[in-house]
Amino acid sequence: MSTPRTETAETAETAVRRPARTYSRWASLIVLCAGALMTILDGSIVTVAMPAIQNDLGFSRAGLAWVVNAYLIPFGGLLLLVGRLGDLLGRKRMFTAGLAVFTAASVLCGTANSQALLIAARAVQGAGGAMASAVVLGMLVALFPEPREQARAIAVFSAVGSVGATLGTFLGGALTQLLSWHWIFLINLPIGVVAWLAALRVLAPERGTGLRDGADYPGAALVTGALMLTVYVIVGSGDRGTPATLLLAALALTLFAAFALRQARTARPLLRPRLFRSRLLTGANCVQILMIATMYGFQFIGALYLQRVLGYDELTTGFAFLPAPVAIGVLMMSLSARAIGRFGSYWVLLAGLVLITGGMALLSRAPAHGSYVGDVLPPMLLLAAGFAAAMPPLTGLAMSGAREEDAGLASGLFNTTQVVGGSLGLAVLSTLAASRTDGLLARGAELVPATADGYRLAFRVATVVAVAALALAATALRSRET
C-alpha cells in the first residue's frame, strides 16, 4: 500500500523541478546604462542653469560654486570606498541603494527653496551617485566575460556616458529656459523610479565576499578623507590663495601616505596593493586623468567661448553642442567594438588620442570674431570622433587588469580618476583663461578679444595635455601582442 504524498513533499518536488530563473544580460546592460546616465547627466546639466539658480536663491559668486562642489566632493571622494563595498556586500545591492539615494536627493534639490537645503541635497545626491556609478563597470565585466561581447557592452556603456555628459548641456538649457531650473533635478524622479524597479527585477542577485574580507574601517576613513580633500583642493583652487591651497594639498598627500602605509601592514586591506601592480590598470587610469582633463577643456571652455565670445544664449549653446553626442553615440555603437576586434585596443586608443590632440590644436586657433561652422564645429567633430575611439578601449584595458573579486574596486577607481581628471582640467584651464583675460584687460584690451585670447591659451595647454596622454598611452599600455 503506497503512502500518500503530502502537500509539503509535492511543493518541495516542484521547487526542485522548477528551472532556475534566467536573467537577460542585455536587459541588465540597459538598466545599468539608465542608472549611470542619470548621474552623468547631473554632472553637466546644472552648469547651464547656474545663473538662474543664483538669481532665484540669491547665491554670491563664491557661494554658487558650492552647487557644483557639494556634488563633486562626496561623489569623487566615495567612489573608491563604495566600489570596494560593492565587492564585499554585493554590487546589485550597492547599485540599487545608490539609485534610491540619488533619486530621493534629486527631489530635495528640485524643491529646495534655500541655499543651505540645495547644497545639502546636492551632497547627498553626490553620495548616491557614487554608490550607483562605482560598481557598474565591475558588473559589466562579470556579465560579459567573452572579449568580443565585452567590447560591445563597454562601447554601448561608454556611448551612453559620453552622450549623457554632453547632452546635459543641451537639456540644462532647454529645461531652464522652457520651465525652470527646478526641473533639471525633478526630471530624475520618473527616470530614477523606473530604473530602480527595473534593477530589482532584471539584475541577477549576487552575494559579496563579506565585510570580513576587507572591513578596514580606519583605512576607509583615510582614503575617503584624502579623496574628498583632493577634489576640494582642485575645485576651489581659484578661490583660495596659494599658501592655503598648498597646505591643503600637503594634508591630502599625508592622508594618502597614511592610507598606503596602513594597506601595506593590515591583514585585511580595503585596497589590495596587488591591484596597482597591473601595468594596464595603472597606466589606463593615468591616461584617463589626462584625457578627461583635455575633454573638460572642450566641454566647459568651449561652452564659454560660444556664450561670451560668439554671443550665444543657453539654449543655442545647447543646440550647438548636439553634434558631439550624436557623433559619439553613433561611432561608439556602430564602429568601436569592430575596430577593437580588428586592430586591437592599443591601436584604436592611440588613434583616438591623435584625433583628440588634433581637435584641441584646431580649437586653440579660435579667433575673437570667429564662427561656429568654421571655427567650432570641425574641431568638435574631431574631438567627438577621438573620444568615441579612445574611451571604450581605455575602459577595457583598465578593467582587464583586475581580478573578479576586485572588479568593483577597479570600477570605482576608474570612475574616481574621471572625476579627478575632470576637476583638475576644469580648475587649471579655467584659471589660466581667467588670468590671461584679466591681464589683458588690465593693459587696456577690449573685453571680447581678451576673453577669446584667454580661451585660446586654455586650449593650447589642453593640447599639450592631450599630447602627454598620447605619449603615456604609447609607452605604458603597449603589450607584446601589439
Least confident interval from 139-143, 233-237, 290-294, 474-478: 233-237
Predicted local confidence at residue 355, as pLDDT: 95
- Which tops the pLDDT comparison, 11 or 302? 302
**How does residue 351 score in pLDDT terms, banded at 50, 70 and 90?**
very high
| pLDDT of 411 over the 50 cut | yes
Predicted local confidence at residue 274, as pLDDT: 67
Predicted local confidence at residue 23, as pLDDT: 59
Residue 108 CB burial class (10 angstroms; 0-12, 13-18, ≥19) = middle
Residue in 130, 88, 8 with CA at minimum distance from that of residue 270: 88
d(CA 318, CA 324): 11
Average pLDDT, the chain: 79
pLDDT single digits (tens) 312-344: 876 787 788 888 878 887 887 777 777 887 888
Mean pLDDT calculated for residue range 156-174: 73
- Which tops the pLDDT comparison, 383 or 64? 383
Q: Are 86 and 142 in contact (CB under 8 A)?
A: no
Cell numbers 572591513 correspond to: 215
| pLDDT of 12 over the 50 cut | no
**How does residue 424 score in pLDDT terms, banded at 50, 70 and 90?**
confident
| pLDDT of 357 over the 60 cut | yes
| pLDDT of 207 over the 80 cut | no
Other Cβ atoms closer than 10 A to 117: 14
Beta-carbon contacts of 257 under 8 Å, excluding residues fewer than 6 positions away, are none
- Which tops the pLDDT comparison, 363 or 164? 363
Highest mean pLDDT: which of 3-12, 65-74, 105-114?
Answer: 105-114
Mean pLDDT calculated for residue range 246-271: 79
Report residue 55: phi and psi, to 5°: -70, -35
**What are the cell numbers at 206?**
549576487
Mean pLDDT calculated for residue range 202-209: 72
Least confident interval from 29-43, 348-362, 465-479: 29-43
Mean pLDDT calculated for residue range 74-91: 78
d(CA 267, CA 391): 36
pLDDT single digits (tens) 189-202: 888 898 898 888 88
Predicted local confidence at residue 175, as pLDDT: 79
| pLDDT of 423 over the 50 cut | yes
Q: What is the pTM of this model?
A: 0.73
Q: Are 410 and 402 in contact (CB under 8 A)?
A: yes
Predicted local confidence at residue 237, as pLDDT: 57
Residue in 191, 95, 82, 72 with CA at minimum distance from that of residue 142: 95
Predicted local confidence at residue 20, as pLDDT: 46
**How does residue 462 score in pLDDT terms, banded at 50, 70 and 90?**
very high
